[in-house]
Amino acid sequence: TDLSTIRNFSIIAHIDHGKSTLADRLIQVTGGLTDREMSEQVLDNMDIERERGITIKAQTVRLNYTAQDGITYQLNLMDTPGHVDFAYEVSRSLAACEGALLVVDAAQGVEAQTLANVYQSIEHDHEIVPVINKIDLPAAEPEKVKTEIEDIIGIDAQDAVLTSAKSGIGIEEVLEAVVRRIPAPTGDRAKPLQALLVDSWYDPYLGVVILVRVMDGVMKKGDQIRFMQGGTQHLVDRVGCMRPKIEQLPELGPGEIGFITAQIKEVEQAKVGDTITTVKGGATQALPGYKEVQPVVFCGLFPVDAADFEKLRESIGKLRLNDASFSFEMESSAALGFGFRCGFLGLLHLEIIQERLSREYDLDLITTAPSVVYRLQLSASRTDDARELYLHNPADYPDVNRIESIEEPWIKAVIYTPDEYLGPILKLCQDRRGVQRDLTYVGGRAQVTYELPLNEVVFDFYDRLKSISRGYASFDYEQIGLREGDLVKMNILVNNEPVDALSLIVHRNVAEARGRGMCERLKDLIPRHLFKIPIQAAIGGKVIARETIAALRKDVTAKCYGGDITRKKKLLEKQKKGKARMREYGNVSIPQEAFIAALRMG
Ligand code: GTP
């Protein structure tokens, strides 16, 4: 293929601004799909993705488009994940393209999540084509949005394409803009093969499928290839593209995006960002930008029913087949029995895995408090040398006397919000030990930058932010390294027994407030028993907060005054069901929901 007829681009958009709808239209207009196939959104292909309205795995389709200049172009449309947890994947997808469509909702305007990806795209020297979508809405203000794009992002938006992806307006104009404004890729057929591994996923029929962007050289079926970072060698057995259905091709040349399979069993071997070259006459230099992704948020996953442990092991193993970015190892807890300590790229990633386990594999799980990774410097003891410890489970917290320092990860967060919610948002950040770095206004909106400890954000920061801003604030973050902090381990004792799943590492300044909050919430979450139950928060041997659950009257139905029998039945059933989902701690039954709910900071 002539390089000058190739265009590689991605679509950047805030959630719900219409990325998938627009992508589907582009596919439809260029003839990739029949009407029936069109009735399902194709680019987002996992159920959970669809329901949560987010794109998790990047996918790519190839479109053939004959432009007004009479030339038929090969357009490769790259779908990128839309969430901060997957920022590295996004960066690799962008590295495979020369331009991007920036889709902005004509009624909503620019939002923080969009910004992060736009800036990344600008860093990759992309040509950015603004597309103002949903112009059919009565509240659409395309002119205002144009000014906003110019003010906030600093790119020319006068030539923005106006579309209604829903009603099919402006689609042809988008395709023309792609052809005219986004530059063709460059590359040299004669050079040794250098292909960027953009993404990989497990397909039950094909094994591991690898999405690649060829930079230089050519890739063909039968090639013996080598992963320059991973170090393994493989025989290419398929080369092709997706339209979006799979189509096999004789080769992928420079500038082209497509997929290969090479009899690879595990996605772990095909690391995003790796460089693929040929074994014979291969490249000597890998492409820049490769990073080993590390999980940042850890938590324990335990089956509610201990008999489900094997099922959990199997299910986690299956999920891992398709997602090398989460990690797991077996863990045992005094009260929760056997389970797994799992690491994730972020909270959303955690929620997705947790949800898939319960939905696709029908597992009831207890999730312990999410924790970040702390770096501890330990002094020598009689049995141990001095050393550095990376702690991602409060249960492994060492003897306090040995700890010389604890460092925690910090992030830089950018929050973007309508003015009227700014007050409560600043308070939220302040309560979470935030340090304000910047505050600017654009139109009726504020953009505020804070540095925050990641551990204050991992739990329910995002939910709180959304609720105090009625959903209007958006949030984006990047990690900025470790900082020392006065951090301590707080234990929660129920009926005088420490509940390991509830222990957490907190900053000393907020420990008391956090401990009091947890005790209060647990008091409401744990049902009464036949005896009095003390609930305490403690640091070391020192109790910093305490609540007591009063003893129970015996008959739960007593308060129904004999009246409605169905109501009584319901109550008893509810109690029975509740039982099944409880865990015993020091003779006390703690409901499954309590483990997470107790940690909400209110
Ligand atoms: P994520 O996949 O979550 O990133 O969202 P998205 O940006 O792909 O948004 P999606 O295409 O799923 O569209 C979000 C909602 O907006 C859907 O309910 C669409 O039907 C609707 N929508 C998309 N384009 C238009 C449009 O041009 N006009 C109107 N009125 N609604 C639209």
Which residue is associated with the tokens 């403690």? 538
Write out pLDDT tens, residues 556-565. 555 544 455 5
Instruction: Tell whether ligand 1 has an atom less than 6 A from the beta carbon of residue 21.
Output: yes
Q: CB of 349 closer than 6 A to ligand 1?
A: no
SS3 for 309? helix
Residue 57 alpha carbon to ligand 1 centre in Å: 18
- Ligand 1 center–CA 289 separation, angstroms: 32
What is the residue type of 307? A
CB-count burial class (<10 Å; 0-12, 13-18, 19+) for 336: buried
DSSP labels, 475-495:
EEEEEEEEEE--EEEEEEEET
Res 191: pLDDT: 97
Q: From the CB of 402, is ligand 1 less than 6 Å away?
A: no
Instruction: Give the residue among 273, 281, 155 at the shortest CA–CA distance from 218.
Output: 281
pLDDT of 517 above 70: yes
DSSP string, 55-83: --S--EEEEEEE-TTSPEEEEEEEP---S
* Confidence band, pLDDT 50/70/90 cuts, at residue 53: very low
Atom 28 of ligand 1 has which residue's CA nearest to it?
134
Q: What is the pLDDT of residues 360-370, one digit of tens each?
A: 888 888 888 78
The answer to whether the annotation marks 16 as part of a ligand binding site is: yes
Report helix angle 112-123 to 87-95, nearest 10.
Answer: 40
**18 is annotated as contributing to ligand binding:** yes
Q: Let me know the angle formed at the C-alpha of 150 by 141 and 82, rounded to the nearest 5 degrees.
A: 80
**Residues facing residue 83 across a β-bridge:** none
Instruction: Provide the pLDDT for residue 566.
Output: 61
Prediction pTM value? 0.77
Cα of 124 vs centre of ligand 1, distance in Å, is: 26
Give the span between the Cα atoms of 338 and 302, in whole angstroms: 7
pLDDT of residue 144: 95
| pLDDT tens per residue, range 111-127 | 876 777 788 888 899 99
Nearest to 539 by CA among 509, 570, 581, 563: 509
User: Within 10 Å of residue 546's Cβ, how many Cβ atoms?
Assistant: 14
Task: Single out the residue of 236, 284, 227 nearest to residue 258, CA to CA.
Answer: 236
Number of neighbouring beta carbons within 10 Å of residue 360: 14
What confidence category does residue 44 fall into, taking pLDDT thresholds of 50, 70 and 90?
very low
Residue 200 near ligand 1, beta carbon < 6 Å: no
How far, in Å, from the CA of 82 to the mean position of ligand 1?
14
19 is in an annotated binding site: yes
Tokens of 52: 């949560």
Sign of the torsion angle spanned by Cα atoms 393, 395, 396, 401: positive
Q: Check if the beta carbon of residue 491 is closer than 8 Å to that of residue 537.
A: yes
Residue 292 CA to residue 325 CA, distance in Å, equals 9
Tokens 């407030």, located at residue: 513
Handedness of CA 79, 85, 86, 91 (dihedral sign): positive
Determine if residue 151 is labeled as part of a ligand binding site.
no
**In whole angstroms, what is the distance from residue 167 CA to residue 21 CA?**
10
Hey, what amino acid is at 293? V
pLDDT of 100 reads 95
3-state secondary structure of 366: strand
- Measure CA 369 to chain center: 18
CA of 10 to the centre of ligand 1 (A): 16
Reading the block at residue 417, the tokens are 């919000």
CA distances from 61 to 69, 286, 287, 571, 584 (A): 23, 26, 23, 53, 52
Q: For position 435, what pLDDT does the model report? A: 97
Helix (H) or strand (E) holding 210, with range, is strand 207-216
For residue 325, the one-letter residue type is: S
Question: Tens digit of pLDDT for each residue in 259-302?
Answer: 999 999 888 889 999 999 999 999 999 999 898 888 888 989 98
Q: Give the list of residues 6+ apart from residue 498 with CB closer than 8 angstroms, or none.
A: 491, 492
Residue 411, Cβ neighbours under 10 Å: how many? Answer: 22
Q: What does the pLDDT average to over 220-225?
A: 96
Max Cα-Cα span within the chain? 88
Instruction: Tell me which amino acid residue 600 is.
Output: R
Residue 108 Cα to ligand 1 midpoint, Å, equals 12
Residue 97 Cβ < 6 Å to ligand 1: no
Find out whether the beta carbon of 15 lies less than 6 Å from any atom of ligand 1.
yes
Q: Is the pLDDT of residue 412 over 50?
A: yes
Q: Copy the structure tokens of residue 477.
A: 């973050």
ipTM above 0.90, yes or no: yes
Report pLDDT for 283.
94
Query: pLDDT higher for 16 or 177?
Result: 177
Dihedral in degrees, nearest 10, Cα atoms 347, 353, 355, 358: -140
137 CB within 6 A, ligand 1? yes
